[in-house]
A and B are shown apart, each in its own frame.
Chain A
Amino acid sequence: MANYSLKINGKSVEVDVDPNTPVLWVLRDHLNLVGTKYGCGIAQCGSCTIHLGDAAVRSCQLPVAVVGSQEITTIEGLSENGDHPVQQAWLEHDVPQCGYCQAGQIMSAAALLKNNPNPSDADIDAVMDGNICRCGTYVRIKQAIKTAANTQNA
């Protein structure tokens, strides 16, 4: 066990956990931030996507010991009131079915738009292929990403 100071959603928190503990389980089990989901544990489904700095990363494969001073953003901290353009576009297109993967999809999409404000279909596919939606909402997700891009660039 070891003590870690983490900066999550703009707040400093302390946790005492095994250094190998994936950030996913630190968030879910120790910090009561359960918006980040467990889906596969091997970085194949994207349900656990968070931001480390500006980059989207799979928190199930990110040991807490390597985070250091990098800022973590989770779905709970993406915006104050669910008003990030990507979240708003998700509501506009009524994307979710079961909803389980959507936090991860939104975090991947938000990082994509930060790095590439005008993504092509191929750009979207290249980034979003890491996020599985078992319900098959892919068409709506792509529409929502384009809507969010337009909102952001307006």
Chain B
Amino acid sequence: MTKIRTQYNRRSFIKISAAAGGGMLIGFSWLNACKPNAPEMAAGLPLPEEWYEINGYIKIGDTGLVTIYSPNPEIGQNVRTSMPMIVAEELDVPWDHVVVEQAPLNTGFYQNQFAGGSLSIRLSWNALRMAGATGRRMLLEAAAKEWGLGVADLNASEGVISEINGDRSISYGEIASNAVGIEIPEEVELKEVKDFKLIGTSQKNVDGKKIITGEPLFGLDFHRDGMKLAMIAHPPAFGMTVGDFNADEIKGMPGVDDAFVIDISIDEPAMFDEKGFHQLVAIVGESTWPLMKAKNALRVNWQTTGELESTAIHKKRLADALVNGQVQESRKDGNPEAAFRRAAKVIERTYNAPFIAHNTLEPMNFFAHVTADKAELIGPTQTPEALEGSVAKLLGMPIENITVNMTRIGGGFGRRLYVHFGLEAAAISKQIGGPVKLIYTREDDMTQGTYRPTYSSVYKAGLDENNNLIAFSVRGAGLPEGPVFPNRFPAGTIENYSAEKILAPTNVTTGAWRAPRSNFTAGAEQSFLDEVAELAGKDPIDFRLELFDRAINDPVGAEFDYDAERYAGVLKLVREKSNWNTPMEGVHRGVAAYFCHSTYVAEVFDMVMENGNPVIQKVWCAVDCGIVVNPDAAANMIQGGVVDGIGHAMYSQLTFENGSPREMNFDTYKLIRHSQAPREIEVFFVENEIAPTGLGEPGLPPAMGALANAMYKATGVRYYDQPFMGMERKVIG
């Protein structure tokens, strides 16, 4: 039995009780205030007349219906199902008695209320288990007190407490009122992993029914009586700022209430305040279409204040940086220069990738209602806490006077880590003195920045006469941040090794895009190693496993950022599952493996040629993320990552001319579509009892490498420049 002390959480529980006055936490369900938000999940249980707050995660109704608050933003990673599953496991309640509500931002109680870095489950695993176990313990204590017995005389399972040596039993719903006010235990017992009943079983998305029937869930769907709508216009180019505009004409248009310039710049901006344009034109009205027309009629005197960059300038800057740029981070083992000089074979390849936009399908939007002394914000944000802090700065208001609630989010991918759209909504609400929902057009969304940086990396490898890899180097530059992780694989596996991460300037704003840096580096590195293995005359999986053997048995250097056994483990699993060693006629295969965000993923792509075109027939994935909470949903995340990786490697790019992105909507910016997706993606998980890590990002990076390697086998062409379909250089292998 694992025991975890709850000291820290106990203080937190008390704090929330005091803050909420009476201990009731109000969850966020803006359209279903009077009914449970998933009545079909409560089948067989009448709706409770009374609810009892057990702790900040759990509320139990007198009929046995249990509400579990999901603390983190839901961006499609399915935490609104998997996080409550963890609580329900330790609470030991039937899953079909559970309804889920979105918790509000509460920094005094919940920890790590954000969606980023594939961290939701990893960082909250213990807290969620503790919340469930604490609730179970309090219910047990309440029943023990009621019956004059000790807790040790009772058993709690599936929502029922029963005497171990007797006939009495009582449901959680019947005893819940007695559990309110029971002191939070100092220490709770957690289940053994082998005793899990719910964790490790596939449960459907708790919002599935609402999604498929079109119920209002997303920020863009949010409505409050009396609210106005607003749209913004930002400068058309990086290096420009807003001047005056035809305000009188715009304000006179039908359906337009007001138009003005807002400024959302704040003192001491933090990481998530990244934003290309701080001054914007805002137009306010009653409905969307007249606002869109008004936006088209805007005539703004944009002022040029900086360089208007182009893709040609970006390419030159990257090329220059690779020669003499500023090194941000580096690592060196042995003497790579000498080893390259004595190598029998040397291979050097350059890999490039463009700026790309996040393109969440739900464009940026947010609701704000700012009054003289309070601000209420509701909408899709991955970082509610950062938003709260920045809004406090913008409005000069204490943080306690600001509330943030999270809607379901129509895609994140890192885009909604950045909080500017919430600040813009707050600034507009303050100006008009009433509630407002800001919505971006697709073009606003795609052209305003926080892009994945553009990258260029040069990889070099040296083999001795026995085809052993004796020297390896990578220099990687990015605008404005280099893509290299100096201590990741293959660091630790090669005697003479050098890695340099190089920066170069741009005024195009960039940000975290799904699996930052890994989303390029994995593809480049894994494509390069495929070529090195070929040069060495070795099977690409055997070649990698040899390197991992070195890291396991005799690692090079002081440290490296991976567990070589687990890394090799996913490669071995994918080799077995895909029958890698049994070639199939007409099937061209590529492999890649990558470790990021604490999760190991290996992928094999099976490609066939149909009518002269390469088609991905099947993708095999092996994943080690520790314990898998909800297997089918976990597989969905990996499948999505694979498709996303293929799409961005093959088709997507943002190019620049005179400071402006040329691609502004999905007619010119290409995203992967149905016919371009693999026909099948099968996911296998390594079974172990390691605490779970995340899945939002790790499926994507290796897909880019496995794709390039399979395409080489199918077409004889090595792919170096993303997007592959627009590649300028074609190098026949």
Residues of A within 8 A of B (CB): 1, 17-18, 20-22, 25, 28-30, 32-42, 44-45, 47, 74-76, 78-79, 82, 87, 90-91, 94, 96-103, 106, 121, 124-126, 128-129, 131-142
Contact = CB atoms under 8 A, between A and B. Distances in A.
Contact of A75 (B214, B359, B678): B214
Interface of B: 75-78, 202, 204-205, 207-209, 211-218, 220-221, 223, 229, 254-255, 286-290, 292-293, 359-363, 408-413, 439, 441-442, 632-633, 636-637, 639-644, 647, 665-667, 671-675, 677-681
Contact of A98 (B202, B292, B409): B409
B665 A42 contact: yes
Given A90-B212, A94-B633, A41 B76 contact: no
**From A20, A29, A126, A129, residue with most partner B Cβ within 10 Å:** A29
Nearest to A142: B674
A137 B674 CA distance: 9
Contacts of B204: 91, 94
B415 to A, nearest CB: 10
A138 B216 CA distance: 23
A134 B361 contact: yes
Main SS at interface, chain A? loop
A38 B363 CA distance: 8
Contact of A18 (B214, B290, B409, B644): B290
B359 A96 contact: no
A112 to B, nearest CB: 11
Nearest to B439: A38
What are the 10 A-B residue pairs with the smallest beta carbon separation, nearest first? A35-B214, A136-B643, A98-B76, A100-B410, A75-B214, A125-B675, A97-B76, A138-B677, A44-B666, A99-B211
Contacts of B642: 136
A141 B215 CA distance: 20
Most buried by A among B216, B293, B362, B647: B362
A48 to B, nearest CB: 11
A94 B675 contact: no
22 contacts: A37-B361, A38-B363, A39-B361, A39-B666, A42-B667, A44-B666, A76-B213, A78-B213, A82-B209, A90-B208, A96-B205, A100-B411, A125-B674, A128-B675, A129-B675, A135-B76, A136-B639, A136-B644, A137-B643, A138-B643, A139-B677, A140-B636
Contact of B674 (A74, A75, A131): A131
Contact of B212 (A25, A32, A82, A132): A82
A136 B293 CA distance: 33
Contact of B289 (A22, A47, A91, A139): A22
Contacts of A38: 220, 288, 363, 439
Contacts of A22: 289
B666 A136 contact: no
A134 B674 contact: no
Contacts of A125: 674-675
A45 to B, nearest CB: 5
Contacts of B202: 94
Contacts of B632: 94
Contacts of B214: 33-36, 74-76, 103
Given A34-B216, A99-B207, A137 B75 contact: no
A22 B442 CA distance: 16
Given A25-B288, A42-B665, A134-B361, A97 B78 contact: yes
Given A39-B363, A132-B671, A134-B644, 4 more contacts: A29-B229, A34-B216, A87-B212, A124-B674
Contacts of B442: 39-42
Given A98-B411, A135-B76, A91 B674 contact: no
A33 B223 CA distance: 11
Contacts of B441: 41
B361 A91 contact: no
Contact of B362 (A32, A36, A78, A98): A98
Nearest to B678: A139
Q: Which residue of B412, B413, B671, B673 has the most chain A CB atoms within 10 A of its CB atom?
A: B673
Contacts of B673: 128-129, 131-132, 138
A101 B674 CA distance: 13
A103 to B, nearest CB: 5
Contacts of A99: 76, 205, 207, 211, 217, 408, 410
B611 to A, nearest CB: 12
Contacts of A98: 75-76, 360-362, 408-412
A20 B288 CA distance: 12
Given A44-B665, A44-B666, A129-B675, A137 B216 contact: no
A92 B410 CA distance: 21
Nearest to B630: A94
B288 A128 contact: no
A30 B287 contact: yes
A37 B362 contact: yes
A23 B472 CA distance: 59
B640 A97 contact: yes
- Chain A CB count within 10 A is highest, among B214, B216, B363, for B214
A85 to B, nearest CB: 12
Nearest to B410: A100
A54 B441 CA distance: 29
Q: Which of A97, A103, A125 has the most CB of B within 10 A?
A: A97
A88 B395 CA distance: 47
Contacts of A140: 636, 639
Contacts of B221: 34
B290 to A, nearest CB: 7
Given A25-B287, A98-B361, A135-B640, A35 B674 contact: no
A72 B604 CA distance: 45
Contacts of A131: 673-674
A35 B213 contact: yes
A52 B643 CA distance: 31
Contacts of A76: 213-214
Contact of A136 (B211, B412, B677): B677
Contacts of A128: 673-675
A134 B408 contact: no
Contacts of B290: 18
B641 to A, nearest CB: 7
Nearest to B409: A98
Nearest to B667: A44
A100 B442 CA distance: 14
Contacts of B77: 97
Nearest to B220: A38
A135 to B, nearest CB: 5
A21 B225 CA distance: 22
A126 B412 CA distance: 28
B76 A18 contact: no
B641 A136 contact: yes
A21 B411 contact: no
A96 B75 CA distance: 11
A7 to B, nearest CB: 18
